[in-house]
């Protein structure tokens, strides 16, 4: 397994807090071999000069692009935009695009990008059709394409009171194209932030450093991924920290993750 840093960690309401080159080098210096580039960083489709800048940053830093984010699939125009992004992904040597949309459009999109060797995936998330592994499996079966999968997110599964153990990961199997990781804990009502589940219940949550998280069962989750034959990227999807510099959060999270990977002898060379 390998560590990937999402551009979400520098994404503010005004846009990215740093340029592409600085972000690639931040990822390298804090312990990551790959990055997830957000829509706000690259655009969809990205202009030619942005592509050239991204290629140069990846080459100079030695950091790979593991995930690109597409706009939502809504109509024929959004499929055209996806194809343009898929072409950019080929140039950037990235094989996985994150998408969202109805089953029919996801199926059509998967067919369109398949000749390019591109995979599409949607994140498991609370409140929707991908709230649990079982629900996600149902959507995957309806899409019915081997180049369409999911990004597993254990914190969202925890908040949905859904398992993220070996049985759950086995249900998804080879449809796990990547992992999005956030360090979240559930807190009492009236504290932290809140979200609504599919059943209408409200969950309150907060964020803590990964090394201090005693609720998220990180090691058993990674063991479950291993047992499901997953050997891809773990994407740290943390937002801009409320305190401190993004580099501090990125470095701490990489250190905590790498400790577990080393214990399980799953760490990539770094």
| 171-207 residue pLDDT tens | 999 999 999 999 999 999 999 999 999 999 999 999 9
Q: CA 210, 215, 219 angle in degrees (round to 5)?
A: 65
Six-digit token pair at 158?
Answer: 């925890």
pLDDT 10s digits, 223-244? 999 999 999 999 999 999 988 9
Supply φ then ψ for residue 121, to 5 degrees.
-150, 155
Average of per-residue pLDDT across 94-116:
97
Q: What are the residue ranges spanned by the domains of the chain?
A: 2-263
Residue 45 has pLDDT above 80, yes or no: no
CA 266/CA 132 separation, integer angstroms: 26
Predicted local confidence at residue 268, as pLDDT: 65
Question: Of the candidates 169, 80, 67, which has an alpha carbon nearest to the alpha carbon of residue 120?
Answer: 67
Predicted local confidence at residue 201, as pLDDT: 96
pLDDT 10s digits, 63-97? 999 999 998 999 999 999 999 999 999 999 999 99
2-263: CATH superfamily: Divalent-metal-dependent TIM barrel enzymes (3.20.20.150)
Mean residue pLDDT of the chain comes to 96
């Amino acid at each position: 397994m390998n560590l990937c840093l999402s551009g979400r960690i520098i994404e503010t309401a005004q846009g990215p807090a740093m340029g592409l080159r600085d972000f690639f080098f931040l990822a390298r210096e804090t312990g990551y071999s790959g990055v997830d580039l957000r829509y706000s960083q690259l655009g969809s489709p990205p202009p030619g000069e942005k592509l050239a800048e991204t290629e140069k940053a990846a080459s100079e830093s030695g950091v790979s692009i593991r995930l690109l984010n597409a706009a939502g699939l809504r109509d024929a125009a959004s499929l055209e935009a996806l194809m343009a992004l898929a072409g950019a992904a080929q140039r950037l040597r990235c094989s996985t695009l994150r998408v969202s949309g109805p089953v029919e459009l996801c199926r059509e999109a998967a067919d369109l990008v398949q000749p390019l060797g591109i995979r599409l995936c949607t994140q498991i998330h609370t409140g929707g059709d991908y709230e649990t592994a079982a629900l996600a499996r149902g959507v995957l079966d309806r899409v019915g394409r081997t180049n369409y999968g999911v990004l597993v997110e254990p914190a969202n599964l925890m908040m949905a009171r859904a398992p993220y153990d070996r049985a759950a990961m086995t249900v998804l199997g080879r449809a796990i194209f990547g992992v999005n990781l956030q360090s979240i804990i559930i807190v009492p009502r009236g504290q932290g932030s809140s979200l609504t589940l599919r059943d209408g219940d409200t969950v309150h949550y907060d964020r803590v450093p990964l090394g201090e998280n005693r609720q998220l069962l990180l090691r058993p989750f990674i063991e479950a991924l291993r047992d499901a034959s997953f050997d891809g990227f773990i994407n740290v999807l943390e937002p801009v920290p409320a305190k401190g510099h993004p580099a501090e959060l990125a470095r701490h999270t990489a250190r905590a993750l790498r400790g577990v990977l080393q214990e399980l002898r799953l760490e990539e060379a770094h």
